[in-house]
Structure 1
Amino acid sequence: MKKLAGSLFIAFMAGALTLAGYVLFFQKSNYIVAEPRTPLVTTSATNTSFLGNMEGVDFTVAAEKTVNAVVHVTNLSVSKPSRSYEWFYGSGRGGTPQVGTGSGVIISADGYIVTNNHVIANSQQLQVTLNNNSTYEAKLIGTDPNFDIALIKIEPDVALPYLAFGDSDDSKVGEWVLAVGNPFNLTSTVTAGIISAKARNLGQSRNQTFIQTDAAVNPGNSGGALVNIKGDLIGINTAITSQTGSYVGYSFAVPSNIARKVVDDIMEYGNVQKGILGISAPRANTRYAIENGLNEIEGVYVETVEEDSGAADAGVTKGDIIKKIDRNTIRNFSELIDYINSKSPGDTVNLLVEREGEPMEFEVILKQRQRLMVPVMGLEVKNLTEAEKKKYKTDTGVKVTGVPEVYRGYGLEDKILVAIDGKEIKNIQDARNLFGAISRYGKTVITMLNENGEREKLIFQ
């Protein structure tokens, strides 16, 4: 009995000491950390307060200006039937209706709306719902899959509130921004964050860059507005990086200067007119770049200069390092492409380059892109030179300059593609559009010319 009493007393005292230690150390520590008067550690010598800066930020004006100019876009499409269904019942029916949703931004009082290409892709019917719940049928004006931008139009009964494009080049890392859209069908949702990075390349294409923010963006936000605290449209929300499909801290927007150029080109020409410098640069962090010290260069190392390009005409050569373009400091290839993407053929840019340690300036007139990689099959094609037209005895078509591994062995190398499914290819823009329209469920007939000017056909299932 005495042994039992002694054990109970020891256990009681141990528990009491543990509780006292918890209260003394942990509760007191938590209280001190949460105390608002506790000094904050900063990363600069500036005597500032995070809370003080927050109190000076007012999002209400930007939110009120933006919510009525952001719309809900509904995309009705019909999925293709399975091959087994086509075999038994034919391909004329059996598709499954599908509904996709996203956001859009009104950019004119008469109903022009910019959104993402992936929001309206494969649509049979487009519907737009305004913030006041008015609903309109929309028609597609034009689209550019490369930049994931589309322009649609509704016919409103009254003048609509709209957002004017701001200058995304003027935006700064650390600047407050708002993302406005319709995540998970929740209309008129506003989230706040800062610009985390500019000219961010996601690795899908070296020719596309984004504004990165930490404003919460989720499925349904695509095509919505990214605005600064003045309510200026500086981006079109496009993508998130997530393993779950939902927001985890990073979101990306097409810069407004690029979106505006795409919209202007669609309205004036029907497609995007892209100006290029005509240079290529080695990829960062590759073995070649590391071994040659190119990763340590602040600027863009010119690896090749395309023949007959604006850069070649101006005198830019291999080995030059581009340091500035139009007085904008260039630290990497993404920043260079981010600026060039907002320009058109015929525009003039000024380059400051370093050549063998000496600064040099060049005035470059941007030219129309002469080569690109077509969608679906991934072939690299180029416009024909006058000499090639004479050699192959044709005035139209594009030359195949690169073939992915999966299509090697089909004899596509150096051939001239003149038609797809009977539709003529005049230039690389035609090639991009026709390859983009290839159906994955049927056959595709490619007509091409060999070096003797003879026609050949390839049929792909």
Structure 2
Amino acid sequence: MSAPLPRRAVFALACAGLAAPGCAGPAVARSGPESFAPLVRRVLPAVVNIAVVESVTSGNDPLSMFPPEIQRQFRGRYPQRRREVRGSGSGFVIDSSGYIVTNTHVVGNASRIVVSLLDGTEMPAEIVGVDDLTDIALIRVHRATSLQSAVWGDSRKLEVGDWVVAAGNPFGLGGSVTAGIVSARGRDIGSGPFDDFIQIDAPINPGNSGGPLFNADGEVVGINSAIYSPTGSSVGIGFAIPSEIASRIAADLREKGRIERGWLGVTMQDLGGSGEGRRDRGVAIAEVVRGGPAARGGLRPGDIVIGVNGQTVEDARGMLRSVAAIPPGQTARLQLRRQGRELELPVTVGRRPSNED
């Protein structure tokens, strides 16, 4: 019997996915490769192990029951005890100069990060930027010589049933690989508003988190990030962040050190429509934040949004992603229905507040 997946799931994933060769017809199953060895030899040097040290509060805080002003007054007299906690994960080099992608939950709270290469070389790393909403982090090491880097692939080309291979640092056993298939796509596991996971059955375990998922061409098509498990270890249900999302987030983190997302300031509700020609497709606006971008643009409660910048809106999650992808300050053209009439409303997108999740 399985339990619901927790918000951060389990720290485990890492490595590679392989698409099998083409088939002669729909009735012919795709055959698997005789060996993954050639691909593994080529891509494994770009996969790294990540060791972290976190400083955490030890035991109960005797001042936690008091108001903040009292805590500030007496904090010096009753300092909190702290202790170091060690952890591990995986990552992969995306640029030979030393940029490495991993998961936020691997390095986000680390006071010290050490990256180990396949040949055993260890280097300290620094955080370039993290994105909590997608669980993607970018770190960097400095080395005199170039590192071998992985190449991004297109996760949109993955099909259910394609072979995948995962590699990383499960239970601290660096340089490990596993193989499986894509089990499903577009999974929402309840970890955040931008869930769009690739489900795989390649075994992944604690320590694999942040590692790459490769296709048959040795391209990274995902970042292994979570598992569904009643035991905490692999039961054949793992989840990877698609490269379509991860590559864009990593590029923004490298350029700006942070992620800026578009925001309208509305509460949305799905209509539940489906099927061609249905009039109930779209998203209902339940509430409009006073003084927010949508309110300033003239959006009203009761409006039905059916498109953003000409792209059809199917549900609230899809609209959220469409708006988030628009840089703050730019205009979103909302196609909507209002009291039986269709119209287009231009709205200047705001910056998504950090407390929005």
Common fold: TM-score over 0.5: yes
The answer to whether structure 1 residue 218 and structure 2 residue 202 are counterparts is no
Residues 70 and 103, structure 1, Cα contact 8 Å, conserved in 2? yes
The answer to whether structure 1 residue 72 and structure 2 residue 49 are counterparts is yes
The answer to whether structure 1 residue 197 and structure 2 residue 197 are counterparts is no
**Partner amino acid, structure 1, of 2:184:** S
Equivalent in 21, 41, 49 of residue 28 of structure 2: 49
Which position in structure 2 is the counterpart of 1:144? Answer: 131
Q: Which has the higher contact order (CA 8 A, sep 6+)?
A: 2
Change (3 A) 1:64 1:99: same
The equivalences for 1:154-193 within 5 A come to: 154-169=141-156, 171-190=158-177, 191-193=179-181
Q: CA deviation at 1:369?
A: 1.9
Q: Residue 76 of structure 1 aligns to a residue in which SS?
A: strand
Change (3 A) 1:57 1:342: farther
RMSD of the TM alignment (CA)?
3.8
Q: CA deviation at 1:95?
A: 4.3
- 2: CA distance between counterparts of 1:183 and 1:373? 33
**Partner amino acid, structure 2, of 1:192:** G
Change (3 A) 1:126 1:327: same
Residues 77 and 125, structure 1, Cα contact 8 Å, conserved in 2? yes
Q: Residue 263 of structure 1 aligns to a residue in which SS?
A: helix
Residues 166 and 233, structure 1, Cα contact 8 Å, conserved in 2? yes
**Partner amino acid, structure 2, of 1:54:** S
Change (3 A) 1:359 1:270: same
- 1: CA distance between counterparts of 2:82 and 2:135? 26
The answer to whether structure 1 residue 253 and structure 2 residue 240 are counterparts is yes
Equivalent in 302, 319, 325 of residue 336 of structure 1: 319
The answer to whether structure 1 residue 109 and structure 2 residue 96 are counterparts is yes
Q: CA deviation at 1:106?
A: 1.1
Change (3 A) 1:85 1:330: closer
The higher radius of gyration belongs to: 1
**Partner amino acid, structure 2, of 1:126:** I
Higher strand share: 2
- Cα offsets for 1:39-79 (capped at 9, x unmatched): xxxxxxx75122xx124798666544432211100012344
Q: CA deviation at 1:242?
A: 1.5
Change (3 A) 1:158 1:224: same
Change (3 A) 1:171 1:47: closer
- Cα offsets for 1:114-168 (capped at 9, x unmatched): 2112112432321100122211111222223333222211112311111244444
Q: Residue 218 of structure 2 aligns to a residue in which SS?
A: coil
- 2: CA distance between counterparts of 1:233 and 1:314? 40
The equivalences for 1:75-86 within 5 A come to: 75-83=52-60
- Cα offsets for 1:185-219 (capped at 9, x unmatched): 22233333215121x33234335443333332211
Q: CA deviation at 1:321?
A: 4.2
Which position in structure 2 is the counterpart of 1:135? Answer: 122
Residues 268 and 287, structure 2, Cα contact 8 Å, conserved in 1? yes
- 2: CA distance between counterparts of 1:170 and 1:349? 28
Higher helix share: 1
**Partner amino acid, structure 2, of 1:158:** T
Change (3 A) 1:323 1:181: farther
- Cα offsets for 1:279-304 (capped at 9, x unmatched): 3322x6xxxxxxxx646654433333
The TM-score with structure 2 as length reference comes to 0.72
Q: Residue 281 of structure 1 aligns to a residue in which SS?
A: strand
Residues 185 and 196, structure 2, Cα contact 8 Å, conserved in 1? no
- Cα offsets for 1:324-354 (capped at 9, x unmatched): 5566554333333344444432455555555
The answer to whether structure 1 residue 372 and structure 2 residue 355 are counterparts is yes
The answer to whether structure 1 residue 98 and structure 2 residue 85 are counterparts is yes
Q: CA deviation at 1:172?
A: 4.9
Which position in structure 2 is the counterpart of 1:240? Answer: 227
Change (3 A) 1:315 1:217: farther
Which position in structure 2 is the counterpart of 1:281? Answer: 268
**Partner amino acid, structure 2, of 1:270:** G
Worse overlay, 273-282 or 312-321: 312-321
Residues 61 and 229, structure 1, Cα contact 8 Å, conserved in 2? no
Residues 349 and 364, structure 1, Cα contact 8 Å, conserved in 2? yes
Change (3 A) 1:77 1:347: same
The answer to whether structure 1 residue 345 and structure 2 residue 336 are counterparts is no
